[in-house]
Amino acid sequence: MIVYRTKNDLALHLDAIRDSGKSIGLVPTMGALHRGHTSLVEKAAGENEALVVSIFVNPTQFNDPVDLEKYPRTLDLDLEMLQSMNVDIVFVPSVKEMYPEEDNRTFDLGNLDKVLEGEQRTGHFNGVAQIVSKLFEAVKPTRAYFGQKDFQQLVIIRRLVKLLNLGLTIVACPIIREEDGLAMSSRNVRLSKEERNLAPFIHITLKLAREKSGTLSPAEIKSWVTSQFENQPLMNLEYFEIVEDKDLKPVAEWGDKVNIVFCIAVQFGEVRIIDNLIFD
């Protein structure tokens, strides 16, 4: 496994691979790797002749400086994990390497970055678009892999690829959960023991809400979910929205909508948890 710190060194290696006609998969991460990440790595390894995993905690997507400071960083363990999975290339740039100067680009993401997470975290998705476009430029992958855990991010990356006219395929990967249903996330380690025990409530509530979609309207489901969280004094429900998967438009009536996503964000102690449930 080779660990590259600079775009130039990485490009030299990747140019040779590309010149020989081989496909390149990219898995962008912010490290503190868990099984959610490794599921992306496994899928990418199976579908490409070469694989790059990037580890970079991107400052421009953090709207909260405390969150950036406390974001878990476990580089040595991450590299061990990737080595044991036979990953051949890891890209671990510094902030200076990715942002030699301030990035003032703004991306026209339509309404996609104004709703849900975008409404709560101003500038977050513009920061995501900045770093992902830089990683795509540095790696020029054939395919890039993103988790449905960050559903809105996935929709936005697809839009970004169209916007920038990049000829690459975005591959969506299913959410990996703990046994009790909590979606895996690097931030989960910051939950206290009590919070960790209560956290599966979020996924359980999403599943119950889905069951109720047979008999209740979207508005009724929203108020039912809201009432469930009123009984959970430690959890602050930031939003629960029912949206269409392609454009994140709110669903007012079930009608003939085919792919629907329940999206939720909960502030839980120091940690913000996001989750979703996609169904047709």
Q: Which residues bind ligand AMP (CB under 6 A)?
A: 29-30, 36-37, 39-40, 146-147, 149-150, 173, 175-176, 183-186
CA 59 to chain centre: 15
Whether 36 contacts 175, CB under 8 Å: yes
Q: Which is nearer to ligand AMP, 30 or 251 (CB)?
A: 30
SS3 assignment, position 105: coil
Q: Which is nearer to ligand AMP, 127 or 213 (CB)?
A: 127
Q: Strand 50-55 and strand 89-91: pairing?
A: parallel
C-beta of 78: minimal distance to ligand AMP in Å?
A: 10
Q: Which is nearer to ligand AMP, 74 or 213 (CB)?
A: 74
C-beta of 184: minimal distance to ligand AMP in Å?
A: 4
Q: Which is nearer to ligand AMP, 146 or 262 (CB)?
A: 146
Identify the burial level of 68 via C-beta atoms within 10 angstroms of its C-beta, where 0-12 means exposed, 13-18 middle and 19 or more buried. middle
Active site (annotated) includes residue 37: yes
CB-nearest residue to ligand AMP: 147
What is the number of residues in the chain? 280
Whether 240 contacts 264, CB under 8 Å: yes
C-beta of 256: minimal distance to ligand AMP in Å?
A: 29
C-beta of 219: minimal distance to ligand AMP in Å?
A: 29
The first and second tokens of residue 6, run together, are 């600079």
Q: Known catalytic residues?
A: 37
